[in-house]
Structure 1
Amino acid sequence: MTAADAAIELAAPLSPAGLRRAATPVTVLVGPEVRDRVERGRAYLRKVLAEPGRAVYGATTGFGALVGFAGRTDEADQCDNTLAHLTAGQGPDLATDLVRAALLTRAWSLARGASGVSARVVDGLAAMFGTTFVPAVPRYGSVGASGDLIPLAYATQALRGRGSAYLDGRRRPAADALREAGLDPLTLDGRDALALVNGTSVTSAALSLALDRVRSAHRALQSLTCLLVDLLGCDPGFLDPRLITAYGHPGAVEVAGRMRATLAGSVPAGDRPLQEPYSIRCTPQLLGAAEDALRYVDGVVAADLGSVNDNPLFFPDDDAVVHGGNFFGQPAAFAADTLANVATQLGNLAERQLDLLVDPHRNGGRPPMLAAGPGQQHGVQGVQLASTALVAEMRRAATPAGMQSLPTNLHNQDVVPFGTQAALRAYDVAELLTLLCGSLAVGLRQAAHVGDRDVTAAGCRSLLDALGEAVAPVDPDRPLDEDVRRAARLVTAEH
């Protein structure tokens, strides 16, 4: 890949792949098209502000419930007025890849030219992506209405040289990090500051990254289920195209087709029950329903990444400053709650399949806990215990957030979507799902070690061989935490 190929152009559509690439230094190109429209929007803002009596929220007024009061007349003071009161967040810092993804999302939105920001804002954000600089942003404080005000205020303050930031993975004062990165602190007025914080970029980025991980895990579980079927010698009749076509759900048809391709050439053992447990027999229906739900989330993410979602917006051609609520993150809230529920059911499937594998009454004659010498060794007993804990944590975290509205801000924000909470929980649950895929993969690798049956399908052979190279047999016992993480990276990357 050339340097030009690796660059992210703000003139082009934004994609989840671009958000992933932003986790590490990458060239972000502003380009003449973007610059022209940003400068045109900025010139229009200046024209509007020069007209006596024409109010523009956040430029001539106070903020939120205080919109009825005049703002500060000095532009630098108005910026401080915007940001200072919002630095009230709490909790641990958000992951650095998420913060950089959120800022790329913000930069893309501002680059549409409808936000009235100065070109230096877009240029400053673009310059940051060429370094390892990451603002330190606390997790708690956003309700996902009026955008992600508090987390984005911390990010903006860090870009101004205030607060804290990371550089090369080390947390330090933001001013020092900017200087060492060779970046100039951003100089902002009130409109710039408001446009930077008044959007759903943290929510959109968290949802996008979570979707990416859940999709990878979903594909991995299709292949891991096939490996389970082949190792146990199950009859693949539950994937019969006539059966699945009669079911009528497009996701199930697609998933079953992929699973049949992976299991092509498999030879049933002939000694399994007529009907397998649901954790095997109903996988095309379960994974297919997940596919259908993920397609809905795909659509919301695509719309969010193409969204201009601050307030107000400026339309020079119509001589219009339009005040409204594009910052209201309800679509992402509903989608993130759906994603968390999908991920939790996928995690439950992985845990149930691992439970089946360690049970000598259901695992094709293998020893309990897949221990090479039961009693003297314990196989994957610890991994199975940890998997149970992970599923319990996922269930707790998957409680829907998008309908738990609480009024705030003197009832200016009298209904809120809590999209940020929903997206961050989906982000957390996606990580746990990845670990459950790794746990199941370690169990399958161990099942091959202690069992008499080898795989018979070429598609399963390649997966098992890759796992065999990455994870040694558990014989004798050893710590398996890193093995689970390594297996998780392998199966989600390859699928």
Structure 2
Amino acid sequence: MPGVARTVDLARPLRVADLRRAATGVDVEISAPVRDRVARGRNYLRTVLGDDRPVYGATTGFGALVGFAGRDDEADQCDNTLAHLGAGQGPEIDPTVARATVLVRVWSLAQGVSGVSARVVDGLVAMLATTFAPAMPRFGSVGASGDLIPLAYAAQSLRGRGWAYLDGVRMPAGTALTRAGLTPLVLDGRDALALVNGTSLTTAATALALDSVRTSHRAVQMLTCLLVDVLGCEPEQFLHPRLITAYGHPGAVDVAAGMRTLLAGAVPSTGRPLQEAYSIRCAPQLLGAAEGALRYVDDVVAADLNSVSDNPLFFPDDDLVLHGGNFFGQPAAFAADVLATVTAQLGNLVERQLDLLVDPARNGGLPPMLAAGPGRQHGLQGAQLATTAMVAEIRRNAVPASMQSLPTNLHNQDVVPFGTQAALRAVDQAGLLRLLCGSLAVGLRQAVHVGARPPTAPGCAAVLERLVETVPAVDPDRPLDSDVVRAAELLHSLNASRDEC
């Protein structure tokens, strides 16, 4: 099948790389032990229900209405679960994020403690082998009882109701299922609740945002080195191992070591100030702090990807049905807010570096705006304006979501984390940061065209060579929107994670 990537095994821990692979058709393996634990969980649910023990969502109403009996018929209980959650609004979530969400959800359900039927796991796995993606509205979740409303739309889509995407084209969900060769899911009340009562959207979006921001973080290190080299700065001052070791922060030590490697062989020029602007001189400290923050997010995402987020949970070996709060997305909410903060400061750094590069008072006498013929041409003037606008947008949206709890659901949900909002916002911010990096890359390529010296470090020279191949010189002026995108894509390919974690 076109687009099918390497197999994802539900018997092993889930990783960010698995979510990247889920963007298109991916084979997901359900091993015999996984099938056994799903079956045991389902059989235990049947035993519990046969004993007339109360089980939230199977024998009761939902949320604040838990004190009332649910519907007797299992199919009716499923419809009741999903119908009242069909209240989402706003633009639809990127299909890539939606597919990653389904992968995270099926991993959680496959742990065997949610009591779902095997057909649910099989159905989600079959979907992931195609390019089908459920259409999910952005607004509706508070991330407290999981991502209820967006996940309800996903469940309905898999039942053939509502809308879906196939090969990136939006169409009625039933049509998409037929064209993909998929069978609509048949659910009972417990299946339906298990599909929606988790933080899989929040987790998937945070993980994908982290992956993108980490790539941009490496790209900013690369671009900073290229800036240092073309301007002729003295890296052995602000990157000296003794200096950075004395600073004492592991992230800065590691970032500076990587920058020294890329700048190996660089020859400083005369005429630079004793102390460079902070956007150069303090880059290892700023980028090192970002590295430390990203390591915290790494840990949260790793735990969340391998977390069972559902309620209730069923433990056959101990004859336990436990009602609790594993659907409460506070860890990812905090982590996504940290990502937003890191993204804002990385964006600030890139914008300030571009501002320095286009300013003849600070760029070593290069033409203003790096224009090949100032006045008759305007070089990077429009691109710099766009970077200012993007940084302003990132800053405006960087207010933490995880501290804005707002009670709802008759005060059943009297504290909420708003992790879904934080995570989807982090995805948006990560996309803008990529474009900011692309803008600075275009500027560095143009700087050499209008008189900056070619890089003297072999590593930096190789980066510039790739940029020259990708982006023509701005001479004469032309729209630079597509050039910025191409440069951003190049940086992403050069700095994307090569590991499997």
**TM-score (structure 1 length as normaliser):** 0.99
Q: Give the C-alpha shift of residue 494 in structure 1.
A: 0.5
Q: Distance in 1 between matches of 2:5 and 2:100?
A: 19
Residues 23-422 of structure 1 aligned to structure 2 (within 5 Å) = 23-52=23-52, 54-236=53-235, 237-422=237-422
Report the Cα offset of residue 127 of structure 1. Answer: 0.3
> Following the alignment from structure 1 to structure 2, what is the Cα–Cα distance between the partners of residues 3 and 473?
35
1:106–1:369 distance in 2 versus 1, CA, 3 Å: same
Aligned-pair identity in percent equals: 74
Q: SS in structure 2 opposite 1:7?
A: strand
> How far apart in 1 are the matches of 2:406 and 2:445?
48
User: 1:268 is matched by which residue type in structure 2?
Assistant: P
Residues 164, 170 of structure 2: 8 Å contact kept: yes
Q: CA deviation at 1:451?
A: 1.5
Kindly indicate whether the alpha-carbon contact (under 8 Å) linking 1:219 and 1:492 is maintained by their aligned counterparts in 2: no
Contact 1:10 1:30 in 2 (8 A): yes
- Residue in 2 aligned with 1:494? 494
Task: Quote the offset at 1:141 in angstroms.
Answer: 0.4
Q: Distance in 2 between matches of 1:460 and 1:279?
A: 18
| 1:88/1:150 contact within 8 Å kept | yes
* 8 Å contact kept, 2:233–2:268: yes
Deviation at 1:31, TM superposition (A): 1.7
- Give SS of 1:6's match: strand
Equivalences, count: 493
Task: Indicate if the aligned counterparts of 2:198 and 2:309 stay in contact, CA closer than 8 A.
Answer: yes
- Secondary structure of the structure 1 residue equivalent to 2:369: helix
Distance, in Å, in 1 between the alignment partners of 2:225 and 2:492 is: 15
Match of 1:405, SS state, is coil
Q: Quick one: which amino acid aligns to residue 47 of structure 1?
A: T
Q: CA deviation at 1:452?
A: 4.1
Match in the other structure for 1:7:
7
Task: Give the superposed CA RMSD.
Answer: 1.1
- Seen in structure 2, the aligned counterparts of structure 1 residues 279 and 442 have a Cα distance that, compared at 3 Å, is same
Shift of residue 89 of structure 1? 0.2
Shift of 1:26: 1.1
After the TM superposition, which segments of 4 or more aligned residues of structure 1 sit over 3 Å from their partners? 2-5
Inter-partner Cα distance in structure 1 for 2:422 and 2:299? 17
Which amino acid is the alignment partner of residue 217 of structure 1? S
- Provide the residue aligned with 2:427 in structure 1: 427
State the match for 1:441 in structure 2: 441
Distance 2:452 2:478 in 1: 23
Aligned residue type for 2:305: L
- Does structure 1 conserve the Cα–Cα contact (< 8 Å) formed by 2:59 and 2:70? yes
Question: How far apart in 1 are the matches of 2:408 and 2:483?
Answer: 46
Whole-Å Cα distance in 2 between the matches of residues 355 and 3 of structure 1? 41
1:456 — aligned with what? Answer: 456
Per-residue CA deviations over 1:387-437 (Å, capped at 9, x if unaligned) read: 000000000111100010000000000000000001111111111001100
Q: Tell me the alpha carbon deviations over residues 310-362 of structure 1, each in whole angstroms, 9 at most, x when there is no partner.
A: 00000000000000000000000011000100011001100000000000111
Q: Deviations over 1:280-336 (max 9, x none)?
A: 000000000000000000000000000001000000000000000000000000110
Counterpart AA for 1:88: A
Distance between the aligned counterparts of 1:207 and 1:4, measured in 2? 24
Q: Secondary structure at the match of 2:26?
A: coil
Please give the alpha-carbon distance, in whole angstroms, between the structure 1 residues aligned to 2:181 and 2:271.
68
- Deviation of 1:144 after TM superposition, in Å, equals 0.2
Report the AA paired with residue 327 of structure 1: F
**In the TM superposition, what is the alpha-carbon distance from 1:28 to its structure 2 partner?**
1.2
Shift of 1:169: 1.4
State the shift of 1:34 in Å: 1.0
| Kept in 1: contact 2:5–2:25 (CA 8 A) | no
Alignment partner of 1:275: what SS? coil
Residues 230 and 452, structure 2, Cα contact 8 Å, conserved in 1: no
Instruction: Give the Cα–Cα distance (whole angstroms) in 2 for the partners of residues 125 and 493 of structure 1.
Output: 30
The answer to whether the 8 A contact 1:344-1:394 is kept is yes
1:126–1:445 CA distance, 2 compared to 1 (3 A): same
Counterpart Cα distance in 2 of 1:257 and 1:15: 27
Note the C-alpha offset of 1:9.
Answer: 1.2
* CA–CA separation in structure 1 for the residues paired with 2:486 and 2:228: 23
Using the alignment, how far apart are the partners of 2:199 and 2:454 within structure 1? 50
Tell me, in whole angstroms, the C-alpha distance in 1 between the residues paired with 2:4 and 2:150. Answer: 32
Match of 1:27, SS state, is strand
Task: Determine the C-alpha separation between the residues in 2 that align with 1:459 and 1:10.
Answer: 40
1:475 equivalent in structure 2: 475
State the partner residue of 2:499: none
- 8 Å CA contact 2:4–2:26 kept in 1: the answer is no
1:39-78 alpha-carbon deviations (Å, 9 max, x no partner): 11000000000003x1000000000000000000000000
1:5 to partner: Cα distance = 7.4
TM-score (norm 2): 0.97
* Amino acid in the other structure paired with 1:59: A
SS in 2 for 1:165: strand
Q: CA deviation at 1:84?
A: 0.1
Deviates more, 1:42-51 or 1:28-37: 28-37
